[in-house]
Structures are given as C-alpha cells and as structure tokens.
Amino acid sequence: MKYFVTIGAQTIEVEVDGERVLVGGEAVDVHLAPLAGTPLYHLLLGAESWTVAAQPLEEDGRWAMGAVGERVEVTVRDERTRETAALTTAAPGGAAPAVVRAPMPGLVVRVEVADGQRVDAGAGLVVVEAMKMENELRAPRAGMVQTVHVAVGQAVEKGMPLVTLGSPEPQSPQVSAS
C-alpha cells in the first residue's frame, strides 16, 4: 500500500508491503510498536531508535506528531484517498463548476443530493460501492448542485462525472432595462 505523507510543503511517498518499507524509493528497516495505554510509539528506523507521540486530529488523515521535543502536524493519505481528493478538487476561487468524478469503477448505492440543492464543503454527495466497500464522495467546496449525473443502481467507470457543483450563490436572472 502506498501512502503520501505531507509535512509542511514536502510530500514523501511511503510504500508498505508486509515487512518491506520504501521511503522516497529507498528501502528502510522500520519497526513500530505502540506503548500500551499511551499515545506513544517506539520507532526503530534503520539503526536509530525514537519515541514518537502520535495523535489524530479532527480532520481525516491529519496527525500531530511529537519527537525529541518537537511537534509537527502531518497529513497521511493512501493512494485511494489521494486520488479521490484529486478528482474532487475545485478550480481556485470556487467560481468555476467543480465536477466530482468516480475515483474507481463501481455501483452507485446512494445519491444524497438533488439538482438545485445548496451544499457545504465536505457534505456527502454520492456513495459508490467498489470492491465491497462504500466510498462516500464529498463536496470539495460549498456550492449549488447544478447536475446530478447518476442514479442509484447505476454502474460507473473511473473518472465518470457524478455531480457538478456550481457557485454557492444562486444565479440571478438578467434584467434588461426597457
């Protein structure tokens, strides 16, 4: 499984395959063991030993990490989460329509919005089942649902549009002066 760990402006790819760990493409000997009853972990990284504190933050994938008296916030995303985020990212400024697309082939099991509905950032839009797992796709920003492209029971392919979000402000009709 590949993970993408972001610390500040730097993102590092970490691949875990059983006992084998690659960090930035280089093999690293790693062993991580929790210290019972604490948020602490004992980390063996190569020939070095560390005691690390790890606490999940409210936002999915965000962690507060502490080691050697330093605290840093990191974001950890697996491949699927990263791909889903890339497919649901809106254009800067939020004015252009944002199209939320299927991150993988699957079956639509729930549609949680309707055309014309106002949604907040992070609101559930559509749930797609793939490989016996339900994946809820969420609004990348606040907006007005312009179009729901799918229906419950519909099979979707990777990249297929599911929902298009427009501006959060309703479009006012143009008034002409007579």
All CATH 2.40.50.100 domain ranges of the chain, comma separated, are 90-166
Class of domain 2-79: alpha beta
All CATH 3.30.700.30 domain ranges of the chain, comma separated, are 2-79
| Partner residues linked to 102 by β-bridges | none
> Of the CATH numbers 3.60.15.10, 2.40.50.100, 3.30.420.40, 3.40.50.1820, which one belongs to the domain with range 90-166?
2.40.50.100
- pLDDT, tens only, 5-37: 888 778 899 998 877 889 888 898 888 899 988
Answer whether residue 94 shows pLDDT above 50: no
pTM attached to this predicted model = 0.48
- pLDDT, tens only, 107-158: 999 999 999 999 988 888 999 887 778 878 888 788 899 999 999 999 998 8
For the record, the structure tokens of 81 come out as 């989460």
Report, as an integer, the average pLDDT of 101-105.
Answer: 82
